[in-house]
Amino acid sequence: MSVVSQVILKADDQLRYPSSGELRSIGSFLETGMQRIRIAESLAENEKKIVEKASKELWRKRPDFIAPGGNAFGQKQRALCLRDYGWYLRLITYGVLAGDKGPIETIGLIGVKEMYNALEVPVAGMVEAVRCLKDAALGVLTSEDAEATAPYFDYIIQAMS
C-alpha cells in the first residue's frame, strides 16, 4: 500500500484530516515518484538480461542445483526457476512503485517458505537465488537507484532466511 493510501486510511479511521507530518510524508513520496518509475522501467526493460546474469551466477555458485538430482536439473525445472526469478523481479518493482514493502509481503511472501518446503525446494537455495538476482538487478541501475532498490531485495532475503 502506498504512503498516500496509508495516510488516507489512517486519517479516515480516526475521523480526521491528515496531519502536517503526514502531508509532508506524501510530499516526499511524490518527490521520489520519477525515480521509482525510472527504477521500475529499468528493471522491466532489463528483465531478460538480469535473469540470465543472475541464473548464470547461481549455477556457477551452486552447480549442484543443475546437476542430476538437483532442483533445477533438466529443461523444465530450470525454466521454472527462471520463471520464479522474473516473478521476484516483478515483485520488487511493485514495492518500488508503491514506495513500500507491503505489496512484496502480501503478494509474494505470505506462505512462500511453506510453498517451497512443500515443493521440496531448499529455501536456502532460493535465498541465494534472490541474492544473485539482487546483484544482477542493481548492476543495471545507477548507484542512486540501486541504493533505493536494494532494501526491497533485502526484505525478501530476510523474510525467506
What is the distance between the alpha carbons of residues 65 and 122, in angstroms, rounded to a whole number? 10
Q: Where are the domains of the chain?
A: 1-31, 33-160
33-160, CATH topology level: Globin-like (1.10.490)
Question: 26-36 burial by CB neighbour count: b if 16+ within 10 A, else e?
Answer: beebeeeeebb
- Helix, strand, coil shares of the chain, percent, nearest 5, are 80, 0, 20
pLDDT tens, residue by residue, 130-144: 999 999 999 999 999
pLDDT tens, residue by residue, 52-104: 999 999 999 999 988 888 878 888 888 888 888 898 999 999 999 999 998 88
pTM recorded for the entire structure: 0.88
- Is residue 63 packed enough to be buried (19+ CB in 10 Å), middle (13-18) or exposed (0-12)? exposed
Q: Of all helices (H) and strands (E), which one includes residue 127?
A: helix 123-138
